[in-house]
Amino acid sequence: MPEGSAPVQDLPFPEVLGVGAEWDVAVCDIVRAGQRLDRHGWVPATAGNLSHRLRDGRIAITRSGCHKGFLTGDEVIAVDAGGAVVQGEGRPSAETLLHTQIYAKFPEAAAVLHGHSVASTVLSLALREDALVFSGFELLKVFEGQHTHDTTLRLPLVDNDQDIARLCTVVEPLLPAMSMGYVIRGHGVYVWGNSMDVALARLEGLEFLLACKLEQRRIPA
């Protein structure tokens, strides 16, 4: 965090907020999330992208090329459902279409987070399976619909592709069955939630589980 800056505080999000106030809250949520991910080391350099959907359909999303740990308000711009800029200056994240795809598929989604952790990068490159499987972990309960550790969840692994439109066609048929999010090999994770706090909790839970999987691989058979 730049010297002299204070952490962005959680803000209320009442239904009576106007369009301008709602935008300000969305920007604050994105800045706060960026700081939190940066503290964990999940958005190194200019990696990662964060977004928040507004009630009018606009999507507040981080601008391309900015460090997520030191975000300022003008580094958050708005795009429409097709990814075109409708507010602010600069290019949106190169992976904006992956965000808009999630919002289109899940009407309840209000926030999408994408990070580049060591665990997600290493595991996704080391494994050739099409998914990571998690069973017996207490923290599986952080994901929607899960009420016990005694369950099994799959985290899809998809191959990286710099052609984002083509990558979207690979992800699209997998989305309906996704309960944890997904990982792009050698790249990072995507998670979402019906609020920024829910998305953050799911990302932290998923990163904990990925770190556990990585540690398990270090234990001699």
Q: What is the pLDDT of residues 45-86, one digit of tens each?
A: 999 999 999 999 999 999 999 999 999 999 999 999 999 999
Name residue, tokens 């050698």.
186
CA–CA dist 101, 194 (Å, integer): 15
99 is in an annotated binding site: no
Would you call 160 helix, strand, or coil by DSSP?
A: coil
Q: Element (H or E) spanning 21, and its range?
A: helix 19-40
Cβ(202)–Cβ(143) under 8 Å?
A: yes
Domain boundaries, the chain: 19-217
Which tens digits make up the pLDDT trace of 86-128?
A: 999 999 988 999 999 999 999 999 999 999 999 999 999 999 9
Cβ(52)–Cβ(26) under 8 Å?
A: yes
CA–CA dist 217, 221 (Å, integer): 9
Using alpha carbons only, how large is the chain's radius of gyration in Å? Answer: 17
The mean pLDDT value of the chain amounts to 91
116 is in an annotated binding site: yes
CA–CA dist 35, 198 (Å, integer): 16
Q: What homologous superfamily does CATH list for 19-217?
A: Class II aldolase/adducin N-terminal domain (3.40.225.10)
Whether the predicted pLDDT of 12 surpasses 60: no
